[in-house]
Amino acid sequence: MNLYSLSKYKKLALSLVFDAIGLVTIIDIVWAPLSGYLMSRMYKGTEGKVAGVISFIEEIVPGLDIIPTFTIMWFYTYVIKKEVPEIIEVK
């Protein structure tokens, strides 16, 4: 499954699910690297990589599980930044 190509609303739904999974502190040792990987797959380029590292750190450090990292990244991408659609020019 290519997470980057999902619609923005499917990404929002996945973000909410991933943030809910992150609240289960018992699985942090497994979830932290997985959340970093998933974040880097959902968002392209440098922003996705940085968000992946932040997500990993947020999940591995005790007490930071309440931060909804995936939802914050979705909000940043689609509300604050608003990705500009790529225009392909045909000559």
Which range of residues forms the domain containing residue 74?
A: 3-81
- The answer to whether residue 58 sits within a structural domain is yes
Q: How far separated are the first and last CA of the chain, in Å rounded?
A: 33
Task: Give the C-alpha distances (Å, rounded to integers) separating 24 from 8, 37, 55, 75, 88.
Answer: 25, 18, 15, 23, 43
In the chain, the number of structural domains is 1
pTM of the predicted model as reported, rounded to 2 decimal places = 0.82
- Residue 26, pLDDT score: 80
pLDDT tier, 89 (very low <50, low <70, confident <90, very high otherwise):
confident
Question: Looking at the domain assignment, is residue 87 inside a domain?
Answer: no
Q: How confident is the model at residue 90 (pLDDT cuts 50, 70, 90)?
A: confident
d(CA 51, CA 47): 6
Kindly indicate the confidence band of residue 1, based on its pLDDT and cuts at 50, 70 and 90.
Answer: low
In a domain? residue 91: no
Cβ atoms of 36 and 18 within 8 Å: the answer is: no
Residue-wise pLDDT for 19-68, tens only, equals: 998 888 787 888 999 999 999 999 988 999 999 999 999 999 988 888 99
- Identify whether 73 is part of a domain: yes
Per-residue model confidence (pLDDT) at position 83:
59
* 68 assigned to some structural domain: yes
What pLDDT is recorded for position 4? 78
